[in-house]
Structure 1
Amino acid sequence: MQKALIMLNILMLNACVYTETPYGKAAVIDLPVQSQTVVHKNIHIHAPPGSTVIYQEAQPVQPIYRR
């Protein structure tokens, strides 16, 4: 029973490592460095047939005028 509990803890905490050595204690935590979000939208654009529609999510980039 004790071995099963230890294995279960290892599987649940696979991102954490803790060791004790004669030189001291060490702990390593592996955290995720990436996250992802998915957004679903329904967009309705009412335009006459044959017209060109340009749709973009981001703001247009403003040109840089050099002086």
Structure 2
Amino acid sequence: MASIVQRGGSYSVVYYTKENGIRKQKWESFRTEKDALHRKYMVEQYQEMFYAYSRLTRAAEQHSF
């Protein structure tokens, strides 16, 4: 899940990711709210696909013969 934070005259997209197994908070700045909303959507779509793939992979590993 990602959030949009207005900072001064810009907008930041804030989300969490894992790097080398460590949870990190990421901030990405944009000049317009429209650009920030687009990036937020892209981040959430990527996270949703990644976590769905992870769940499917774990389920397949548990049920493999």
Short-chain TM bin: under 0.3
Q: Which has the higher contact order (CA 8 A, sep 6+)?
A: 2
TM-score by length of 2: 0.26
TM-score by length of 1: 0.25
More strand by percentage: 2
Larger Rg: 1
More helix by percentage: 2
